[in-house]
Amino acid sequence: MKRRAFIQKSAATASVFSIVPSHVLGFSGVAPNDKIQLGFIGVGKQGRGLMTNFVNYDAAAVTAVSDVDVDKMSLFSEAFSKALAKKKKPTQKLSEMASYRELLSRKDIDAVVIASPDHWHAQMAVDAAKAGKDIYCEKPLSASVAEGRAMVDAARKYQRVFQTGSMQRSWDRFRHGVELIRNGYIGEIKEIKVAIGAPYKSCDLPTQAAPANIDWNAWIGPAPYRGYHEDLACPIGDKRWGMWRDYYPFGGGMVTDWGAHMFDIVQWALDQDHTGPVQFTPPSSPSESGLVYTYENGIKVTHTKWGENNNEIQFIGTEGRLEISRGYLKTYPDASLADKPIETPNAKRVYHSKNHHEDWLQAIRDRTRPICDVEIGHRTASVCNVANIAYALQRPLEWNPVREQFVDDPGANLMLDRAYRAPYNYRDF
């Protein structure tokens, strides 16, 4: 019997009795009859939310979790059991471990879901790629441009399937809006306004005593050390999202947190997924909005509050406007465009994903790139991170998206990376 036929027959036979990890069968990816074994790294509110989605899919099985907060791991396991019961699936005990590197060392884990605070993304993703795991990493992909490029390079070197958690790309509303723009339904785009929150701020929170359930030094990880404060790692029962996202060096403010969603749609609509703007101009006086970035074709994008809410985009074209958020899609002057399918022959189409998580799982099986591949996630994160640099420096910056460097500005280029504590090193791959 030929080797390929033998492997196929063996895999089919094994599936009758048990779930066989792909590494046992000698596959570089995942065998067709094998469940994709998932490990979760970072199990706060976002991690738990992602888990409740992944338990829906028969193609995957959540196997292990890692977090520096033992209480959050326990809550995750409880939520996992409830989710299984709701789906009428057999109960399963999760392996819990404080060290994400211990999780990565397990040969029965095929892929990981990273939902840690942003300052951990690069180190964890690079380590996961080195360990041969496919990766789903929350947005914003990185906390610096240099980290993002390393994540791309590591994923390519180890041939990993890497999905950025920019799930708006898998929503009908945003896909339709993008296709309307790409097909010229509002004419040539001249200006775009993006309403999101403020840039990051320095972390000046007072130090509190760290609770016993959290390993605070491990939470800090690669970032410069500072003392615990509950705003950075909100305890269980606190309805807020972790406010670390507002403070450098743990997050990039709303410019990265929501910018990673809304600037991402701008990149997609303008077909700029593998490049970026060439100029960043902050407001003339210190402000939390008003920055303008400009693409090589002259299109200007302004970070400003323009509507009644935050987290919305206004595209202004020569023949109309398109406004979009998670709650609506509006088109002017022809309001019907928002609900009318594009039926034009030879219309320009974008990648069609109906489900962001399933898209990644299928890409793992097919060994293809998903809808928001690591390079796309990196380019969007770069827009956000460079915008924060321009706000911090309060002067215009010329950006070379090919070299991923500022033009003739050594001082600004020093801000494209961030300091890491030893022994962490995201470049070690």
Whether 76 maps to a domain, the answer reads yes
Determine contact, residues 200/246, Cβ cutoff 8 Å. yes
Same-domain status, 43 and 111: yes
Amino acid at 355: N
Angle, alpha carbons 394-396-398 (nearest 5°):
140
**What's the CA gap between 99 and 104, in Å, rounded?**
9
Please, which contacts does 301-309 make with residues 24 or more away whose CB atoms are closer than 8 Å?
A: 301/191, 301/192, 301/193, 301/194, 301/263, 301/266, 301/277, 302/191, 302/192, 302/193, 302/194, 303/194, 303/196, 303/255, 303/259, 303/387, 304/193, 304/194, 304/195, 305/195, 306/193, 306/195, 307/195, 309/195
* Helix extents (H) in 258-323: 259-269
Determine contact, residues 291/302, Cβ cutoff 8 Å. yes
Same-domain status, 89 and 195: no
Strand partners, 18: none
Same-domain status, 162 and 175: no
Same-domain status, 103 and 196: no
Same-domain status, 149 and 175: no
Same-domain status, 259 and 306: yes
Q: For the chain, 429 residues long, give each residue's pLDDT as a single digit of tens.
A: 333 332 333 333 232 222 333 433 334 566 666 899 999 999 999 999 999 999 999 999 999 999 999 999 999 999 999 999 999 999 989 999 999 999 999 999 999 999 999 999 999 999 999 999 999 999 999 999 999 999 999 999 999 999 999 999 999 999 999 999 999 999 999 999 999 999 999 999 999 999 999 999 999 999 999 999 999 999 998 989 999 999 999 999 999 999 999 999 999 999 999 999 999 999 998 999 999 999 999 999 999 999 989 999 999 999 999 999 999 999 999 999 999 999 999 999 999 999 999 999 999 999 999 999 999 999 999 999 999 999 999 999 999 999 999 999 999 999 999 999 999 999 999
Task: Report which secondary-structure segment, H or E, holds 36.
Answer: strand 36-41
**Residue 71: CB partners within 8 Å, gap ≥ 6?**
213, 214, 235, 236
- CA-nearest of 144, 179, 150 to 162 is 150
**What's the CA gap between 237 and 41, in Å, rounded?**
21
Whether 346 maps to a domain, the answer reads yes
DSSP string, 86-143: HTTPPP-PPEEES-HHHHHT-TT--EEEE-S-GGGHHHHHHHHHHTT-EEEEPSS--S
Sign of the Cα pseudo-torsion (294, 300, 301, 305, in order)? positive
Query: What number of CA atoms fall less than 13 Å from residue 394's CA on the CB side?
Result: 5
- CA-nearest of 28, 50, 30 to 39 is 50
Same-domain status, 37 and 78: yes
pTM recorded for the entire structure: 0.92
Same-domain status, 154 and 264: no
Q: What pairing do the DSSP bridges indicate for beta strands 320-325 and 329-332?
A: antiparallel
Number of separate domains in the chain: 2
Same-domain status, 190 and 313: yes
Same-domain status, 382 and 284: yes
Whether 369 maps to a domain, the answer reads no
pLDDT at 7: 31
**Residue 62: CB partners within 8 Å, gap ≥ 6?**
38, 40, 51, 54, 55, 80, 92, 94
Same-domain status, 155 and 183: no
Whether 103 maps to a domain, the answer reads yes
**What's the CA gap between 281 and 284, in Å, rounded?**
9
Q: Which two tokens stand for residue 306?
A: 């323009």
Strand partners, 312: 195, 325
Expressed as residue numbers, the domain containing 338 is 171-200+254-352+374-404
pLDDT at 18: 28
